[in-house]
């Protein structure tokens, strides 16, 4: 056999150990250099990725809106998305939209009291399918 051959007979046992350690480090580098994560952080990331928090927030908005608007108009309205502090509310018709325009300040205060962490600044009514 020539000296350039890398057959097992030509390799020193210490070289095999070094090679094995190097491969072990390469395979586990992504795991061994990290700190373990707290389970609360992992669950929070999962909830955020899957959108469960948005569903829960939508349910909270529905309950707060129904309480603020009252039983009379609740079936004719539906809270939509909250974007940049503006809550979009879908209403059944333009007459109801005008009526709720007069009650806008009262509704805004009631919703801000019910959900202060949401950062609600304004309500915008839109005619659409409820």
Q: What are the chain's domains?
A: 50-127 (3.30.300.180)
Global pTM? 0.57
What value, to the nearest 5°, has the Cα angle with vertex 116 and ends 100 and 78?
35
How confident is the model at residue 1, as a pLDDT? 46
**Order of strands across the sheet that contains 122-127:** 77-83, 86-91, 122-127
Average pLDDT, the chain: 81
How confident is the model at residue 64, as a pLDDT? 92
Among residues 10, 111, 17, which one has the least CA distance to residue 67? 111
How confident is the model at residue 12, as a pLDDT? 72
How confident is the model at residue 29, as a pLDDT? 56
């Amino acid at each position: 056999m020539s000296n350039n051959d890398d057959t097992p007979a030509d390799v020193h046992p210490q070289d095999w150990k070094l090679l094995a350690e190097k491969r072990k480090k390469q395979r586990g580098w992504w795991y061994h250099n990290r700190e373990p994560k707290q389970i609360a952080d992992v669950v929070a990331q999962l909830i955020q990725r899957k959108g469960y928090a948005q569903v829960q927030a939508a349910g909270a908005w529905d309950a707060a809106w129904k309480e603020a608007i009252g039983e009379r108009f609740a079936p004719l309205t539906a809270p939509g998305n909250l974007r940049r502090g503006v809550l979009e509310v879908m209403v059944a018709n333009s007459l109801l939209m005008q009526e709720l325009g007069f009650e806008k300040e009262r509704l805004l205060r009631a919703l801000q009291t019910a959900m202060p962490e949401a950062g609600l600044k304004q309500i915008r009514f839109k005619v659409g399918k409820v």
